[in-house]
Amino acid sequence: MSEMKQNAAWHDVSAVKNGRVEVLPSDLFGTNPGADVIKAIDELEKRLKRLSS
């Protein structure tokens, strides 16, 4: 997160300013989750719910 705050391309993005950035697991979101697509969707749902509360 600190790297993003220092990067001119990211530091003005409100999610970065407010510490609401999620780093997603690369095995599920890096390229193609393949057979783990349901795990990826579940993980995304969990994180979105947490961010929205």
CA 18 from chain center: how many Å? Answer: 14
Question: Are the CB atoms for 27 and 34 separated by under 8 Å?
Answer: no
- Which residue is listed with tokens 């990211």? 10
Would you list the domain boundaries of the chain? 24-53
* Contact between residue 11 and residue 29 where contact means Cβ atoms under 8 Å apart: no
* Residue 20 scores a pLDDT above 90: no
Cβ neighbours of residue 46 closer than 8 Å, sequence gap 6 or more: none
Q: Give the rounded percent of residues in the chain with a pLDDT score beyond 70.
A: 100
* CA 6 – CA 17 distance, rounded (Å): 11
Q: What is the mean pLDDT of residues 3-10?
A: 90
% of the chain with per-residue pLDDT over 90: 43
CA–CA dist 22, 14 (Å, integer): 13
Q: What is the arithmetic mean of pLDDT over 3-24? A: 90
